[in-house]
Amino acid sequence: MTRHNKADAHPREISIFKLFRIAFIFLLFNAMPAFVQDIRVIDKKDDKTLTTLSTLEMEGYKFVKARDLADALNIDYTQNFETKQFIFLFQQISIIVTAVNPNIIIGSHIKQMPLETLLYHSNFYIPIQYFLHCVQDFIPFQVEFDTKQNILYISRPANTIVKVGIEEKENGLLLRIIATDHFPLDDIYLSETNGWLYVDFYGGFIDTLSSLHVKGLNKKIASVIPFQLSNESARIAFKLGTKIEEKTVYSEEQSQETLVSLRTEKNISQDLLVELEKEREKWKIDLIIIDPGHGGRDPGAIGKNGTYEKKITLEIAKKLKTEIEKQLDVKVLLTRNNDVFLPLERRTKYANQKNGKLFLSIHADSNPHRGLSGHTVYFMGPAKTEEARRAAQLENSVIRFEDTRNHYEELSDASFILAANAQNSFNKESQAFASAVNDELKNETGRNGYGVRQAGFYVLYGASMPNILIETGFLSNSANELDLNNKTYQQKIARAICQGIIKMKSQFEAM
């Protein structure tokens, strides 16, 4: 891999005169309107638009918010306004830019841009073309900025399969396939023919020039052969020495493992069948708890035209209850059926007491930046973006309406997340639930929104079941406020969430 030093040529030379002129223009920025032109961020593999970046264009040079770029590239970050530094956090390396400074610190390397990073209204702005040129060799994927079409292409590396383990069980075999990243179930395909079991991975890569590490070969599986079928698909072939009665695949996100269960024995004892049926009943989704956010003396967010969040959430919740009961044979309960105040802790406590199997809290967002619009679906976890942190802080601030706050006094940001995760064993399922609802909201409304995020919401704390919080739109955005007051649009949201529940129910009960 070629490394560049400070003397490397930049994609465009800039005279000292222009550099000072841009700096001078930025000093006058308060008095001058910025020309805003969006950059589309596209996944080059499937030509899919991921998001857009707003830009400041000065003297022909484009600047973007550092945090917007981090969100677009799905990179963690932190910012320190005392040292005036913004830090992009990768697994192996950090990339640091400093306001009014052209240098970039990349691990032990220092690169220099011909333009400085700027700090304006608590936002770091970086010259995107020169920043990407400097960091390209240090980040784990390819980026390509088309300045004429204003498109940022991202080419992420294929997920590499590195290890296969074979374990003998009482009534069959368990195959453990480990990769450098998580394969979703939709990207894994099983097939069997002529004594071979094939496990195909869309988006997978196997380095056939070096031997795949395989452990546990036995009489039931005597041979494992890897193939790279195409640029987009990898296959592992297992030579079977026994008949397979049933095969099931599982995808473990945290361990990045794909598990293939192969049952080779037909006979299962009656006692085991009874135990399996009892276990299956525990996973059956037969009661759903819907929590309409806010209520009573807590109005929630208030729109520009006076719309109360508490009113919107209750209307959507009632429509969702009707929709679920129409499409599924399950019981649905609301934490509140009218305009009453309900402390946050009592909402999940109610869900637990009723033995709910899914919990979803419905909300509408607000932001000082009135241009933000669209839905966001959250599950419990540490916030990775400023917007996620802000949304959680806004929703958590309603404890000021409660008679006592003792329940939350010991919950700092870190301890709150640790405590919540310790008592909630459904984080993985909650994330899958959030993803299913987000996909259906995009399909039903025709809008991408802000996807799935995680943050520390008090209202989800303590739920002993898969749980999510849905921000259905921004009441601070005039168009969103109009939509959220529209009965037809409310029904669209209810229908989308219901479809997400149907998808979640199907996956959850199959576990």
> Range with the lowest mean pLDDT among 171-185, 190-204, 206-220?
206-220
Q: For residue 471, list its beta bridge partners.
A: 363, 376
Task: Decide which of 112, 139, 155 is a domain's last residue.
Answer: 155
Q: Per-residue pLDDT tens for 263-296? A: 886 655 566 556 656 655 666 889 999 999 999 9
Q: Which candidate, 313, 301, 290, 299, places its Cα nearest to that of 394?
A: 301
Confidence label for 419 from pLDDT (cuts 50, 70 and 90): very low
How much is the pLDDT for 132?
92
In a domain, 10, yes or no: no
Q: What integer pLDDT is reported at residue 269 of this predicted model?
A: 58
Average pLDDT, the chain: 81
Mean pLDDT to the nearest integer, 242-255: 84
Kindly state whether residue 4 falls inside one of the protein's structural domains. no
Residue range 300-307: mean pLDDT, rounded: 91
From residue 447, alpha-carbon distances to 32, 95, 236, 427 in Å are 32, 32, 38, 26
**Domain stops at, among 102, 126, 155:** 155
User: Where residue 384 sits, what CATH number does that domain have?
Assistant: 3.40.630.40
Instruction: Please report the pLDDT score of residue 346 as a whole number.
Output: 85
pLDDT the model gives residue 5: 38
Least confident of 137-141, 223-227, 357-361: 137-141
Helix or strand run (H / E) with residue 166: strand 159-169
**Where in 243-387 does DSSP place strands (E)?**
246-252, 257-263, 287-292, 331-334, 358-365, 376-380
Residues 457 and 323 in one domain: yes
Half-sphere exposure of 252 (CA within 13 A, CB side): 12
Q: How many domains does the chain have?
A: 3
DSSP secondary structure of 66-111:
HHHHHHHTT-EEEEETTTTEEEEE-SS-EEEEEBTEEEEEETTEEE
Count of H-run helices and E-run strands, the chain:
11, 29
Amino acid, single-letter form, for residue 75:
I
pTM of the predicted model, to two decimals?
0.48
Asked if residue 139 and residue 223 are part of one domain, the reply reads no
- Same-domain check for residues 339 and 434: yes
Q: How far apart are CA 102 and CA 118, in angstroms?
A: 9
In tens, the pLDDT along 477-498 reads 999 999 999 999 999 999 999 9
Q: What is the DSSP string of 26-64?
A: HHTGGGSPPEE--EEEEETTTTEEEEEE-EEEETTEEEE
Closest of 163, 276, 286 to residue 226, by C-alpha: 163
Same domain flag for 365 and 502: yes
Closest C-alpha among 501, 473, 477, 502 to residue 489: 473
Q: How confident is the model at residue 136 (pLDDT cuts 50, 70, 90)?
A: confident
Question: Do 174 and 82 reside in the same domain of the chain?
Answer: no
279 is a domain residue = no
Q: What is the CATH number of the domain that holds 226?
A: 2.60.40.3500
Q: Is-contact 455 381, C-beta < 8 A? A: yes
**The domain containing residue 256 runs over which residues?**
159-267
Task: Say if residue 360 is in the same domain as residue 438.
Answer: yes
Say which amino acid occupies 162. V
Do residue 327 and residue 437 come from a single domain? yes
**Cβ atoms of residues 456 and 380 within 8 Å:** yes
List b or e across 458-493, with b for residues whose CB sees 16 or more CB atoms inside 10 angstroms. bbbbbbebbbbbbbbbbbbbeebbebbbeeebbbbb
Same domain, yes or no: 150 and 163: no
User: What are the strands of the beta sheet with 55-58, ordered from one edge?
Assistant: 35-36, 55-58, 61-65, 123-127, 109-120, 101-106, 94-98, 85-89, 76-80
